[in-house]
Amino acid sequence: AAARRTGRILQVGHVERFNGGVRALHELVREPGFIECHRLGPFAGRGTDVDVVRDLMIHDIDIILRLVRSPVVQIQAVGVPVISDRVDIANARLQFASGCIANVTASRVSIERLRKLRIFQRDTYLALDYATQEVTCYRRLLPPPGAPADALPRIVREQVAVDKAEPFRLEVEAFLAAVRTRSRPVVSGAEALEALRVAGQILAKI
């Protein structure tokens, strides 16, 4: 509101929006039915002034809200503190008005590092590795016309072409371009506020 009032450009730092794999997903996702996301990492000693939902999970909340584009109608969540005084590991189940379900897990007390997003929609399974920016697509193909009556559908695997780049650099370039052209930023304040609102609702359920 303050940015609109003063005519300023406000872009919020959700760097995963600029991940090449995420940008490729937007071309492939149609009507997602189920989404599963894991963002795990070892304890770093920083960011303990906030919980893991607002520290890590919020990035996936933002991405999921942009992919589903439907209101959240129900939230279930669990989480516990492990090392810090705040929630260090959390799992949330988001149900959208469209019927899509998103199961999101975030942990900052994991031995391994894992940042993966899986999306299931009719006849398609999409897998994104945030770290490598790689997207794999599995599709069910029906037998072609004229095939034998007992012919079965087959699953084909495709490595999606991704324009990989440094997300932080793209983020800064996008902000500078928005300032120069007075155009809408990639991550608006309203969108960031919506992700923060959902994060708050998740915390309220824990």
**Domain spans of the chain, in order of start:** 19-205
What is the separation, in whole angstroms, between the first and last Cα of the chain? 30
Question: 49-100: per-residue pLDDT in tens?
Answer: 899 999 999 999 999 999 999 999 999 999 999 999 999 999 999 999 999 9
pLDDT > 70? residue 151: no
Q: In three state form, how does the secondary structure of 152-186 look?
A: CCEEEEEECCCCCCCHHHHHHHHHHHHHHHCCCCC
Alpha-helical segments (H) within the chain: 2-6, 20-25, 52, 58-68, 167-181, 189-205
Domain at 19-205, CATH homologous superfamily: Dihydrodipicolinate Reductase; domain 2 (3.30.360.10)
pLDDT > 80? residue 165: yes
Alpha carbon distance 32, 49 (integer Å)? 34
pTM to 2 decimal places: 0.88
Find, among 63, 62, 52, 195, the residue nearest to 118 by Cα: 63
Question: 126-148: per-residue pLDDT in tens?
Answer: 999 999 999 999 998 876 776 67
